[in-house]
Amino acid sequence: MTNPTDVAPETRSFEADVAKLLHLMVHSVYSDKDVFLRELISNAADACEKLRYESLSDPALAAGGSPQVTVTLDPEARQLMIEDNGIGMSEAELVEALGTIARSGTKAFMERVASAKDAEGTQLIGQFGVGFYSAFMVADRVDVLSRRAGSDQAARWSSDGLGTYTVQSADTGEAPEHGTRVLLHLKEDAASYTERYRVQQIIKDQSGHVPVPIFLKEKPDAEAEQIADGAALWTKPKSEISAEEYTDFYRSVAGQFDQPALTLHYRAEGLHEYSVLAFIPEMKPFDLFDPDRAGRMKLYVRRVFITDEAEILPRYLRFVRGLVDSSDLPLNVSREMIQQSPVLAAIQKGVSNRVLTELEKLSANDGEGYIKFWDNFGAVLKEGLYEDYTRREQLLGLARFKSTASGEGWRSLKDYSASMKENQTAIYYATGSDLDRLASSPQLEGFRARGIEVLLLTDQVDSFWVTAGVDYDGKPFKSVTQGLADLSLIPMPEGETEAPVASEEVSSFIDFAKQLLKDQVSDVRVSERLTESPVCLVAAEHGMDRQLEKLLAAAGRGGGASAPVLELNPRHNLIVGLSGLQNGSSLREDAAWLLLDEARIADGELPADPRAFAERLGRVMAKALG
């Protein structure tokens, strides 16, 4: 019979993204390499929690004793080992777990490091945990020996972090009864990670509150000493927990190294009992805009880890990190069936409402702190305006906006409502991708002349929620770039005059342009919006907002652009002058087409036919010089 260790190890290349990440790890310099130990201990604790869950249905899996993580130092060999008696991995699972990147957040981290300036790059590790691969910041080789619980086979994985790794079967006599052993062959400049005092301090600072006991051995043959008791922090009274302990736990559960901006720790009692320990990060997580929009809240049942894939919070609250520990859910609930549980539905509702209530308190009591939160997560929270009808009113109260009246600051809808003008019946907004361009849009001129505040909405989600039948305090949202402006009901400020009615010549020119441009626009008309610019484009009254139409077209979901409306300013000198051109002249025709292209350019678009635009412009300039 062939011994598994007699079979030559198979050499494989890392997935391309992993290879790039390892290169960054090995060849970059970071200010805080200590984070690798937290990442490896977190992985070990997760493995113990997964075993505890699987042993609910198969008690024989837990035969290896109470869950624990052991860190062993070997100063003479310059080695550091992290061992757990958790679920373990098969050879195939080792390849899947250590040869690929599973979460887009790690890819985002990699892209950020690759493009960062040196000074910024030194801080990135401290902002985002990169899991197992962080071991290569301090090790020139990593060996992993693992045996899955319930299996009679073991496997060994090894890599120097230079682009390839080996994997092979291993002798079960060398492997743990079940679990994983990670051995780091430390670099010369990382020898201090074999010093007891330093390693013990790092563990207490960064991993002291993982829900699994941690033991430390200062030599391979030394007795293991328990340095963390594995007591669940969320089960302790708030009065017994320091801010530092909350921060340490946040960093462990969130995989980040910033400070929590807001901490929620409470126990719900009544019809359902559960504990919540959740955090809002101080900084944006790198996976905030993961296309899957997956949450990062863990679910426990009576301190037994069940899953981190339960949708405890709606997707627009995915920036919240933490956990919920239920006393009511059955321990043997399957991960697939848990979403249909009425108990979980009650927890989801309770936790979501509590998070929003805490945000309301923050906005009322700490305006500066709330604005920092909104800068980071406002674009995500606004997704709820489109998705969560039941909480829309509460979310509108939390929302903050840039506007024509906000300057560099932010405005609430309560602020906007208080400044509405006489006879104003709608909340006006403009959508776009660039704040400066939006603020200078010609479509805003008439509103600015009457002192009407306009919300400037630059997040992609803005184009969707404003079209979902939203209103605030009984007032609908209305785009300044869609339909008629209806400004005549709102009086001009004292000393200002209304725009004059179009002269016969201007009306005649509008009729001419309407006929000439009928294949490009749905209408040409006098504008109430314009006070300074000669022309602008707007969407038809019942057409799709132009910014939303552009977003859908970019995503391949549009059905073709609809024809816009071209509006002319009847008192602008250019329009008045062009209106006096002789009927049938080529200059009159060129001028009408150039006005349309000017409006397109002001709207951030290119002329529909750049060559024809250049030729017309050339003819007009030649005429002017002649």
Write the pLDDT tens digit of every residue in 594-617. 999 999 999 888 999 999 999 999
- Count of all residues that appear for the chain in the document: 626
Say what the pLDDT of residue 624 is.
85
Report whether pLDDT(368) > 50: yes
* CA 216/CA 69 separation, integer angstroms: 9
Report whether pLDDT(107) > 60: no
Q: Where in the chain is the domain with CATH 1.20.120.790?
A: 504-625
Report whether pLDDT(139) > 90: yes
Architecture of domain 4-231: 2-Layer Sandwich (3.30)
**Higher confidence at residue 353 or residue 550?**
353
Report whether pLDDT(484) > 80: yes
Say what the pLDDT of residue 27 is.
59
Pick the CATH number of 401-479 from 3.40.50.11260, 3.90.550.10, 3.90.1150.10, 3.40.50.150: 3.40.50.11260
The confidence band for 129, taking pLDDT boundaries of 50, 70 and 90, is very low
Phi and psi based region of residue 68 (left: phi greater than 0; alpha: psi -120 to 50; beta: remaining): beta
282, 288, 276: which is closest to 312 by C-alpha?
A: 276
Domain 234-370 class, CATH top level? alpha beta
The confidence band for 117, taking pLDDT boundaries of 50, 70 and 90, is very low
Report whether pLDDT(431) > 90: yes
Say what the pLDDT of residue 495 is.
64
pLDDT in tens, 374-407: 999 999 999 999 999 999 999 999 999 999 998 8
The confidence band for 126, taking pLDDT boundaries of 50, 70 and 90, is very low
Copy the structure tokens of residue 348.
């989801």
Of the chain, the percentage scoring pLDDT greater than 70 comes to: 88
If 0-12 CB within 10 Å is exposed, 13-18 middle and 19+ buried, where does residue 162 land?
middle
The confidence band for 43, taking pLDDT boundaries of 50, 70 and 90, is confident
What is the average pLDDT score of the chain? Answer: 87
Say what the pLDDT of residue 130 is.
58
pLDDT in tens, 157-185: 999 888 889 999 999 989 999 999 999 99
Report whether pLDDT(551) > 50: yes
516, 615, 525, 606: which is closest to 561 by C-alpha?
A: 606
Q: Where in the chain is the domain with CATH 3.40.50.11260?
A: 401-479
Q: In b/e form, how buried is each residue of 247-271, taking b as 16+ CB within 10 angstroms?
A: bbbbbbbbbbbbebbbbbbbebeee
If 0-12 CB within 10 Å is exposed, 13-18 middle and 19+ buried, where does residue 337 land?
exposed
The confidence band for 453, taking pLDDT boundaries of 50, 70 and 90, is very high
Say what the pLDDT of residue 163 is.
81
Mean pLDDT of 99-122: 53
* CA 485/CA 447 separation, integer angstroms: 9
Q: Where in the chain is the domain with CATH 3.30.565.10?
A: 4-231
pLDDT in tens, 263-290: 999 999 988 999 999 999 999 988 888 8
CATH superfamily of 504-625: Heat shock protein 90, C-terminal domain (1.20.120.790)
Strand partners, 260: 281
Report whether pLDDT(564) > 60: yes
Say what the pLDDT of residue 553 is.
73
Say what the pLDDT of residue 115 is.
61
Of the chain, the percentage scoring pLDDT greater than 90 comes to: 58
Q: How is the beta sheet containing 400-403 ordered, strand by strand?
A: 411-412, 400-403, 454-457, 427-431, 475-479, 471-472
Q: Where in the chain is the domain with CATH 3.30.230.80?
A: 234-370
